[in-house]
Amino acid sequence: MKVLVTGVKGQLGYDVVGELTKRGHEAVGVDIDEMDITDAESVAKVIGEAAPDAVIHCAAWTAVDAAEDEENISKVRAVNVDGTRNIAEICKKLNCRMVYISTDYVFNGQGSEPWQPDCKEYSPLNVYGQSKLDGELAVSEILEKYFIVRIAWVFGKNGNNFIKTMLNIGKKYPELRVVCDQIGTPTYTYDLARLLVDMVETEKYGYYHATNEGGYISWYDFACEIFRQAGYDTKVNPVTTEEYGISKAARPFNSRLDKSKLIENGFEPLPPWQDALARYLKEIEY
């Protein structure tokens, strides 16, 4: 199978190409230098010439706070909405399947019940969330052969993330504050890549949620486990989102994602996040 992967320089795209190659599939990795997704002609030319069986669309604007800046809003939408639509259009023309990576931010982040993948009660809290939702809607309107996969709290080798931030701070300071009232589960891109390739090898299309197993936690819980496994004696002080201070973009308190649909459709869930963290720490230098 031939699969084109966007955002190959990012955390997820990098791992997806690695997983495809490992399985003997032909992976075509592109980033902005090879294909500007906001340029419909560029997308049609590059994907058209590659003629893949599937596209796994990992490229996105993910700087959540920067997305709130007035001068960036149109750029965010150009990437996350127009770019996604451009890819969906050429996938339709070529009759190839598409995987779109989305986020728990499409929901309002309230309550304590895990969000269901087929829930349509969308209410994004910020510009980034709205742009990812609009990207979802474009894919579902244009295509029939699609997977929309929502993830949360992403970490991978090839990029910046919460774990790397904690380790850097832990080296410099004896203690720090981390919010304890935002609840979710981390997603290791190496594990997610395996699932995405599993998916694209099937025709079990639709909406899915995919984070690591291991139970729902707060960012505070995550930070404590990072330092424990890394062998740091950094003290972590739990604070509420309000106490921590307002960020430009509103953050969801409830990022719990229900992943039971994976098992129902015969997909293997991701390993526990504690195990993923242990493997990740062995991968990176800190």
Supply the residues annotated as catalytic.
Answer: 128
Q: How far apart are CA 274 and CA 231, in angstroms?
A: 14
Query: Own/partner pairs for 239-244, CB < 8 Å, 24+ apart?
Result: 239/177, 239/178, 239/179, 239/180, 240/179, 240/180, 240/181, 241/179, 241/181, 241/182, 243/177, 244/177, 244/179
Q: How far apart are CA 91 and CA 95, in angstroms?
A: 6
Task: Give phi and psi for 47, each to the nearest 5.
Answer: -70, -35
Q: How many CB atoms lie within 10 A of CB 171?
A: 11
Three-state SS for 203? coil
| CB of 159 closer than 8 Å to CB of 10 | yes
CA neighbours within 13 Å on the CB side: how many for 272?
Answer: 8
Find the farthest-apart pair of alpha carbons in the chain and give their distance in angstroms, rounded.
Answer: 56
